[in-house]
Amino acid sequence: MNIKLSKVSKICGSIEVPADKSITHRAVILSSLADGVSAIKNYLPSEDCLRTIEICKQLGADIKIDGNNLYIKGYGLKLQKPNSVLYAGNSGTTARLISGILAGQHFKSEIAGDESLSKRDMKRIIEPLSQMGAVFESAKGFLPLSIEGKSPLKAIKYDSDKASAQVKSAVLFAGLYADGITEYREPIKSRDHSERALKSFGADIKIDGNCASINPIEKLNPQNIEICGDLSSAAFFIAASVLIENSELTIKNVGINPSRDGFLRILKTMGADIEFDNIRESSGEPVCDIKARHSKLHSANIDADIVPSMIDEIPIFALLCAKAEGISKISGAKELRAKESDRIKSIVGQFKKLGIEIEESEDGFEICGKPDGKFNSCEVESFFDHRIAMALSIAALAGADDMIIKDAHCVAISFPNFYGVLKEICL
């Protein structure tokens, strides 16, 4: 599905964005491993999360969907052997996190994905999980992936050369099945949703700076969980409010986990008018209401120290840089090349179509901002990447007479009603 969008005069109102995708994945997986019934309120029914739900059903969990809620009767830590291939669709989170669980089982299983996911490197999880004793078969480290589990696994101390919440989560989940303390250390702390969730389910997990360690246990305890709104989804509406004149928007119930709030911190330093109200905690995660208004921005530089805390927001952050005064530079973001698309290449190629001055580097790009610049009317590619499609959509609203976004339906990967919400707030 292609969609045609054009410049709007302002956006205003109050909205809620879909539930956090990262937290939904982890809540479903750990509930499926728990000994009893867990209730998950306000889960995200996106394509990616539905893949996790279906795989957990194949592995023995009894999952009932009731409106916006899930009720999951866990099968326990020792799962049921699936009768068919486990299909992760486009979800790298599903494939990598489930691999950590399958590594500790007594059976052989296979994970497959769609064409896009099958081009994404899985060697990053194969290496540590193989060290723990699981046996993998794959075509050069890509899906489909055959996993022969082992229990107990060997406890390891793993030093990662890059910050990755998915790899960290896979190793920590596998640590539930190890013969001792499993330790994972990373150079910069990545998002910590798995650590928070494991602790709430009763896992013996300890955090010391950039190091997480976990002890094996006999069972996980069921939980009642309320999932907050996804900051990565909220970022597109925050950006729209900041970029479009006369705009003011309130986004309620947004998660502001400090391990992934880099987008908000950097945007504030650029001069964005953003307020945080009703700050509170929900199911172990910090939450607030965010109010964003039109603002004049100046340039910013981000590097490897902050990239892990805003990796999913970089496509929309790049658009903000294109409208900021001065030259902005993004570096230390090579991880973007291994997402649903090569996001560095995708951003640079499509932004050039819009008339944005942007130059590509191996691990990022440099953008010459033009606060009063107007974007070209053109047809752009989403590359079936939800975050690219949403970033280009905001670009259209912020300064293009007409823009056609190809394959815009891919937004359903994380935000099924994205265009419906936009329609509600655009004037």
Residues identified as active-site:
312
Distance between CA atoms of residues 61 and 45, nearest Å:
17
Q: Is the peptide bond before 286 cis (omega within 30 degrees of 0)?
A: no
Cβ atoms of 255 and 263 within 8 Å: the answer is no
Q: How far is CA 283 from CA 27, 42, 169, 279, in A?
A: 11, 12, 19, 14
End-to-end Cα spacing for the chain: 24
Give per-residue burial for 14-46: e unless 16+ CB within 10 Å, then b: ebbbbbbbbbbbbbbbbbbbbeeebebbbbbbb
Cβ atoms of 173 and 29 within 8 Å: the answer is yes
Contacts (Cβ under 8 Å, ≥6 apart) of 137: 145, 146, 148
Q: Is the peptide bond before 187 cis (omega within 30 degrees of 0)?
A: no
State both tokens at 263.
Answer: 């987008």
- 225 CB neighbour count, 10 Å cutoff: 28
Contacts (Cβ under 8 Å, ≥6 apart) of 127: none
Distance between CA atoms of residues 415 and 419, nearest Å:
9
Distance between CA atoms of residues 209 and 10, nearest Å:
43
Q: How far is CA 65 from CA 42, 43, 69, 73, 304, in A?
A: 11, 10, 6, 12, 40
